[in-house]
Amino acid sequence: MKTGLRGAFFPLLLATVTVSGCTTTAGGKGAGGGIISTGPQGAGVYITALQGGLVSRNASAQLSKADMQRALEAEYRALEAAPGGQPVVWQGSGVAGSVVAAAPYQVGSQNCRQYSHTLTVEGRDATTRGAACRNADGAWTPLS
Distances (CA, A) of 135 to 6, 58, 118, 138: 12, 24, 25, 5
Domain of residue 87 covers 2-142
pTM above 0.95, yes or no: no
Reference 32, options 83, 67, 84; nearest CA is: 67
- Judge whether 99 and 129 are in contact, CB under 8 Å: no
- Determine the pLDDT at residue 43: 57
State the DSSP string of 37-56: P-STTSTHHHHHTTTTTTGG
Total tally of structural domains belonging to the chain: 1
- Determine the pLDDT at residue 20: 36
Q: How many residues does the chain have?
A: 144
Chain Cα centroid distance, residue 72: 5
Distances (CA, A) of 12 to 3, 16, 74, 118, 134: 15, 6, 18, 29, 17
pLDDT in tens, the chain (144 residues): 444 444 443 333 333 333 333 322 233 333 333 333 333 345 566 677 777 888 887 766 688 999 999 999 999 999 999 999 999 999 999 999 999 999 999 999 899 999 999 999 989 999 999 999 998 888 898 987
Residue 77 φ/ψ, nearest 5 degrees: -65, -40
